[in-house]
Amino acid sequence: MLFWNTDDFFELALPTYSFLGLLLILVIMVIILFIEIQRARYHENEGWTMTQIGLIGQRGAPSIKVSLLEDR
């Protein structure tokens, strides 16, 4: 058996697993942010700005409704 006593398991394994979990969450957040920036650049090429999509700044959040109504 790798860990004979359960106290050894909680002392050795949990800090490593919590660090790996935080690292995994950080990697997922970076990937999501990268995808959102690429999506904003795609919409910016169509004539929208990043502020209209609401990615940068809170003022851009309501303007996406206005721009959607104007485009269609």
SS (H, E, C) the chain: CCCCCHHHHHHHHHHHHHHHHHHHHHHHHHHHHHHHHHHHHHHHHCCCCHHHHCCCCCCCCCHHHHHHHHHC
pTM across the whole model: 0.42
Instruction: Give the range with max mean pLDDT: 5-14, 22-31, 33-42, 57-66.
Output: 22-31
The per-residue pLDDT for 6 is 60
Q: Give the phi and the psi of residue 2 in degrees, each rounded to 5.
A: -75, -50
Domain ranges of the chain: 6-71
Please determine, for residue 22, whether its predicted confidence score (pLDDT) is greater than 60: yes
At 38-52, the pLDDT tens digits run 877 766 566 555 555
Cβ neighbours around 53 below 10 Å, total: 19
